[in-house]
Structure 1
Amino acid sequence: MKKIKVLDCTCRDGGYYNSWNFKIDEINQYLFSCSKSGIDIVEIGFVFPLGKEYGIFAYSQKKLFSKLQIPKNLDICVMINAKDFYEKKNGHQIKKIFLNSKISPFKIVRIAINFNEFNYGQKITKDLKQLGYKIGFNLMQSHNKKINEIAYVGKEITKWRTVDYLYFADSIGCMDPNYINYFCKTLKRYWKKDIGIHAHNNKSFALINTLEAINSGATMVDSTMLGMGRGAGNTCTENLLIELEKRKFNYKPKHLANTLPYFQLLKNKYNWGPNYYYHFSAANNIHPTYIQKILTSNKYSNNFINKIIENLTQQKTDIFKEDYLNNQIYKIKDDEGNFEAKNYLKGKKILIVGSGDSGNIELKKVEEFIKKYKPTVISLNINPYIKNKYIDFYLSCFDFRVFFEISEILKKNKPVIIPLNRFKNNLKFNLKKEKIINYGLIVKEKSFKSYSNHCEIDKPLALTYALAFCKIANPKKISFAFIDGYKDDIKENKYLSQIISKFQKQMNSKINFVTKSILN
């Protein structure tokens, strides 16, 4: 029987859901369980360029390994994105980031690179090989490849003499067993070392495709606990080991029993796995990260999601670009509005209220603040905490919220700050002119500018729009309440913190947080 190796990459691929924030004690249990079950390699995380956006499993630095208890029979590897090293001018230098493998806590480095850009990875493999690492080369976007394309890649990478394991990844999740068989058998003619597969579960084919790859000559197979991974997820490790044990491979899935409950809690929270949208994306060559971003935002109705996805099918979207997704979600006509907002709030004290969970605890504090300081209160969308009598203005700008909340807002009989031209053709309500402050909004990348009758911002979020309005309306002082930030979205918190910082710098005034906030 041929030898295969199972590589569990939960801490790396699963991090796309929890921003690589795993509990150390749970991961130590996971490592022990992997060891006992016979798993050969654990991919412990990425090596991203250092930053503060993600948890420690995104960087795989000394700080992480000092906390891990790694069984001696487990090989540890990490992954890098090739673009981090070749896309920018001069790139990040391998030899400045990686130690010699003899003194490194991991001995294998895998390189993720698009199939059509594989040649850019040659120098990276050379530098890592000189440091003594075994090299896995993961060809992303390996779907729909012709024989001559596969042959060329196999022959060229063979010439490098640096790669130990050549993987193909079903990045879109659109492969089926027939294609797996075809790809493996074609590649085997031109690549004589180990072949690996990294399957995605958009069509619920991940396990079937992985087993077919083994039957067709693959010797390295990826999987994750409960399938935790980007988009619809991956081959489930526990199910793969069951099938391999049945086929007389030396794996013992029963030893995973003590680690699976932790990942079940994560699955309950993040809800990865195949569904209609992921299957549709795979069938239409849409990168699954588009679907993941839309679904995990929890902002959109099913009808709105369907409209976004329909727009995505009209373009080439097999490579994920966040700016393109934002353009689809926020697709609007330029709207300059007709309300002259300059100095409209001059000299006033403003309280902007959100709907964060702090409202459950600090409502009384905020009501006392309003009674004492008598600020002009602007509510971002419908507010579940503050009584209408305390609110002076409602503000809304995001189309989904406007369509579903505008009728309730208008019942409050208070002025509404809204970029009306974006919605007036789609709203069937009697919008009385005296109740509408039509301050325009234009979406423009990396912009935060305010004009007398409109603003330019890069995302039509209510808080960003409110600050842009206040910037031109020129109040004396601004306070926040119930604007908590996001518990599990470091990237969005970073964005909002940058907007707040820009506002404070441009206005030369510090915002007062009345309630607790991650953004403070």
Structure 2
Amino acid sequence: MKKIKVLDCTCRDGGYYNSWNFNIDEINQYLLSCSKAGVNIVEIGFIFPNGNEYGLFAYSQEKLFSKLKIPKNLEICVMINAKDFYEKKSVHQIKKVFQNSKLSPFKIVRIAINFNDFNYGLKISKDLKSLGYKIGFNLMQSHNKKLNQIANIGKVISKWKSVDYLYFADSIGCMDPSYVSYFCKALKKYWKKDIGIHAHNNKSFALINTLEAIDAGATMVDSTMLGMGRGAGNTCTENLLIELKKRKFDYRPKYLADTLPYFQLLKNKYNWGPNYYYHFSAANNIHPTYIQKILTSNKYSNNFIIKIIENLTQQKSEIFKEDYLNNQIYKLKDSEGNFEAQNYLKGKKVLIIGSGDSGNKESKKVEEYIKKYKPTVISLNINPYIKNKYIDFYLSCFDFRVFFELSEILKKNKPIITPLNRFKNNLKLDLKKEKIINYGLIVKENSFKSYSNHCEIDRPLALTYALAFCKIANPKKINLAFIDGYKDNIKENRYLSKIIGKFQKQIKSKIIFLTKSILN
């Protein structure tokens, strides 16, 4: 019987849902359970070259390993994104990030790289090999490849003599068992070392495809606890071990019982797994991150989600790009407005309200504040906490909400501040009689500038747009309420804090938070 190695990559792939913030005690239990169950390798996380906006499992440094209790029979692995290294200069060179493997708590490094860009991985793999690591080479976007392409990639990489495990990844989740078998057999023509598969579950084929890969010659198979992973998730470790045990491989899935409840709690929270939208995206070669971003926002109706996905089918959406979720889906154009905002709120107190969870407990307090101090209240999009009679303006820019909520906002018979020229051609509304404050918006990288009829900001977020509007409208005081920040998104919190800091510096005045906020 051939030797199979199961690599559980929950802490790496699952981090796309919780920003790589896992509970250390629970992960130590997970490591123990994996050890007892016979899992061969655990991929503990990524190594992003720099930054600190994510949790410890995004960087896999000493600070993390000092907290972990790693069983001796478990091999530990990390992953890098090749583009983090070949798109950067010397500051990100491999030998400045990695020490010799003899001094490292992990001995395997996997390199994630797109199939069509594989040649960029040559130097990276050789540099890592020179440090003594075993090298896994993960070919992302491996779908829809021709026989000669697959065979050739195996031939070329085998000549490098720096790669130990050659993986193919079903990044889009569109592979079926026949293609998996076809890929393995084509790769084996010249590649004589271990073949691995990383399956995604968009079409509920992840386990089937993984078993098919084994039948076709694969010896390295990826999985995650309860399938936790980007988009629809991956092959479930617990189910894979059950199937492998039936095939007489030495795995003991019963020992996962002590760790699965933790991941069930995470699944209840983040709700990964296959569904109609992921299946549709896989069938149309749409990267699953688009669907994950849309679904985890919890903002959109089912019909609206379908419209978004249908638009994505008209784009080249196999590779995820944030731009497609911003300016390209609705073909929005930067534009100036026709409203002169200069000193529009001069001398007034302004209260900007969001829709954070703090509103559940503090809405009465904020309404009392409004009654007492009578500020001009600007609501970011529709507000679930403050009565319409206390709101003076609604504000909405982009984030799909304009398309979804504008008609509802207009029913409230209050003025709306919005960059109308960016999207009015896409709206099926008669806006001639509506109270529209058409303040323009131009997206420009690293910019935060306000002009009389438009602003320049780097992302079309409601809070950023509101602050840019207030900057030129010149109120004497600004307070915020229900702008909570994000519990599991350090990167986004840093961005919002940076914007608030820029605003305060430019107007030389301090913003007061009336309710609890991570950003304060």
So what's the TM-score if we normalise by structure 1? 0.94
- Could you report, residue by residue, the CA deviation over 1:398-419 in whole angstroms, capped at 9, with x for unpaired residues? 4754455445544544433233
Deviation at 1:273, TM superposition (A): 1.1
Residue 143 of structure 2 is aligned to residue 143 of structure 1: yes
Matches within 5 A, 1:379-390: 379-390=379-390
Closer/same/farther in 2, CA of residues 517 and 317 from structure 1, 3 Å limit = same
Q: Distance in 2 between matches of 1:331 and 1:509?
A: 37
CA distance in 2, matches of 1:404, 1:123: 48
State how far apart, in whole Å, the 1-side matches of 2:257 and 2:311 are. Answer: 43
Residue identity opposite 1:477 in structure 2: K
Instruction: Quote how far apart the aligned CAs of 1:430 are.
Output: 7.0
Counterpart in the other structure of 2:60 = 60
Aligned partner of residue 159 in structure 2, secondary structure: helix
More divergent stretch after superposition (156-165 vs 16-25): 156-165
- CA–CA distance in 1 between the matches of 2:441 and 2:279? 35
Name the stretch that deviates more: 144-153 or 366-375.
Answer: 366-375
1:248-281 deviations in whole A, cap 9, x for unaligned?
A: 0000111111111111111111111111221122
Cα distance change on mapping 1:57 and 1:124 into 2, 3 Å: same
- Cross-structure match for 1:296: 296
Mapping of residues 322-471 of structure 1, within 5 Å: 322-329=322-329, 331-398=331-398, 400-406=400-406, 408-421=408-421, 422-423=423-424, 426-428=427-429, 432=433, 435-471=435-471
Using the TM superposition, name which of 358-367 and 209-218 deviates more: 358-367
Distance 1:56 1:484 in 2: 23
Corresponding residue of 1:476:
476
Task: Give 3-state SS (helix, strand or coil) of 1:233's partner.
Answer: coil
Given that 1:201 and 1:232 are in contact with CA atoms closer than 8 Å, whether structure 2 keeps it comes out as: yes
The 5-angstrom pairing of residues 262-277 of structure 1 reads: 262-277=262-277
Q: Which residue matches 1:116?
A: 116
Helix, strand or coil for the counterpart of 1:486? coil
In the alignment, the residues of structure 1 paired with residue 317 and residue 101 of structure 2 have an alpha-carbon distance, to the nearest angstrom, of 38
Q: Distance between the aligned counterparts of 2:57 and 2:125, measured in 1?
A: 22
Q: Matches of 2:318 and 2:407 in 1, distance apart?
A: 39
Partner of 1:128: 128
Deviations 1:435-461 (A, max 9, x none): 432323344454433222223334333
- Contact 1:345–1:473 (8 Å) recurs in 2: yes
How far apart are residue 516 of structure 1 and its match? 1.4
User: Is the partner of 1:257 in helix, strand or coil?
Assistant: helix
Q: Which runs of 5+ in 1 are unaligned?
A: none
Corresponding residue for residue 512 of structure 1: 512
* SS of residue matched to 1:190: coil
Q: Counterpart of 2:184?
A: 184
What is the CA distance between 1:331 and its match in structure 2? 3.3
Q: Distance in 1 between matches of 2:102 and 2:495?
A: 40
CA distance in 2: counterparts of 1:19 and 1:189, whole angstroms: 39
Aligned residue number for residue 256 of structure 1: 256
**Does the CA-based 8 Å contact 1:135-1:164 persist in structure 2?**
yes
Distance 1:346 1:314, change over 3 A: same
Letter in 2 for 1:204: S
Q: What letter corresponds to residue 305 of structure 2 in structure 1?
A: I
Residue 311 of structure 1: aligned partner: 311
Cα distance in 1 between the residues matched to 2:437 and 2:147: 61
Give the direction of change, closer, same or farther, for the CA distance of 1:6–1:411 in structure 2 (3 Å limit).
closer
Q: For residues 285-313 of structure 1, what are the alpha-carbon distances to aligned partners after superposition, in whole Å with 9 as ceiling and x for unaligned?
A: 11111111121122222222222222222
Q: Distance in 1 between matches of 2:24 and 2:311?
A: 41
| 2: CA distance, partners of 1:37 / 1:125 | 31
- The CA distance in 2 between the partners of 1:402 and 1:101, in whole Å, is 52
Residue type at the aligned position of 2:361: I
2:356/2:483 contact within 8 Å kept? yes
Identity %: 85
Q: Secondary structure at the match of 2:188?
A: helix
Partner SS state of residue 80, structure 1: strand
Aligned-pair CA distance for 1:179? 1.3
How far apart, CA to CA, are the structure 2 residues paired with 1:458 and 1:143? 34
Report the CA distance shift for 1:91/1:326 in structure 2 as closer, same or farther (over 3 A): farther
CA contact (8 A) 2:151 2:188 kept: no
* Structure-2 change in CA distance of 1:28 and 1:397 (3 Å): same
Tell me, in whole angstroms, the C-alpha distance in 1 between the residues paired with 2:433 and 2:392.
Answer: 17
What do residues 466-496 of structure 1 show as CA deviations (whole Å, max 9, x unaligned)?
A: 1121111111121111111122233332332
Q: Do the aligned partners of residues 385 and 320 (structure 1) sit closer, same or farther apart at CA in structure 2, a change above 3 Å counting?
A: closer
Deviations 1:54-94 (A, max 9, x none): 11001101111111111111111111111111112336122
* Deviation by residue 1:338-384 (Cα, 9 ceiling, x = unmatched): 22111111122211112222122233443443345432222223333
Cα distance, 1:324 vs structure 2: 2.8
Could you say what secondary structure the match of 1:189 adopts? Answer: coil
- More deviation in 57-66 or 495-504? 495-504
Q: CA distance change for structure 1 residues 492 and 304 in 2, over 3 Å: closer, same or farther?
A: farther
Q: Find the aligned partners of 1:337 and 1:50 in 2 and give their Cα distance.
A: 39
Once the two structures are overlaid, the 10-residue window that deviates more, 183-192 or 412-421, is 412-421
Match of 1:7 in 2: 7
Q: How far apart, in 2, do the equivalents of 1:334 and 1:41 lie?
A: 49
Distance 1:424 1:82 in 2: 41
Q: CA deviation at 1:329?
A: 4.5
Offset at 1:238? 0.7
Which stretch of structure 1 is more off in the superposition, 369-378 or 219-228?
369-378
Alpha-carbon contact 1:330-1:443 (below 8 Å) kept: no
CA–CA distance in 2 between the matches of 1:267 and 1:207? 18
Is 1:81 aligned to residue 81 of structure 2? yes
CA–CA distance in structure 2, aligned partners of residues 156 and 406 of structure 1: 55
- Alignment match, 1:166: 166
* Segment of structure 1 superposing worse, 180-189 or 76-85: 180-189
Tell me the CA shift for residue 45 of structure 1. 0.5
Aligned residues: 519
Residue equivalent to 2:152 = 152
Cα separation, 1, equivalents of 2:138 and 2:227: 19
1:50 aligns to what? 50
Distance, in Å, in 2 between the alignment partners of 1:269 and 1:492 is 19
User: How far apart, CA to CA, are the structure 2 residues paired with 1:408 and 1:315?
Assistant: 29
Q: Whole-Å Cα distance in 2 between the matches of residues 325 and 171 of structure 1?
A: 19
Cα distance in 2 between the residues matched to 1:60 and 1:334: 40
* 1:31 corresponds to 2:28: no
1:194-252 alpha-carbon deviations (Å, 9 max, x no partner): 11111111111111111111111111111111111111111111111111000000001
CA distance in structure 2 between the partners assigned to 1:106 and 1:321 by the alignment: 32
Q: Which residue identity is paired with 1:84? A: D
Q: Which runs of 5+ in 2 are unaligned?
A: none
Partner of 1:41: 41
User: C-alpha separation between the residues in 2 aligned to 1:482 and 1:443?
Assistant: 25
Q: Supply the distance in 2 between the matched residues of 1:98 and 1:436 (Cα, whole angstroms).
A: 56
CA RMSD in angstroms comes to 2.1
Deviates more, 1:14-23 or 1:485-494: 485-494
What's the counterpart of residue 495 of structure 1?
A: 495
TM normalised by structure 2 equals 0.94
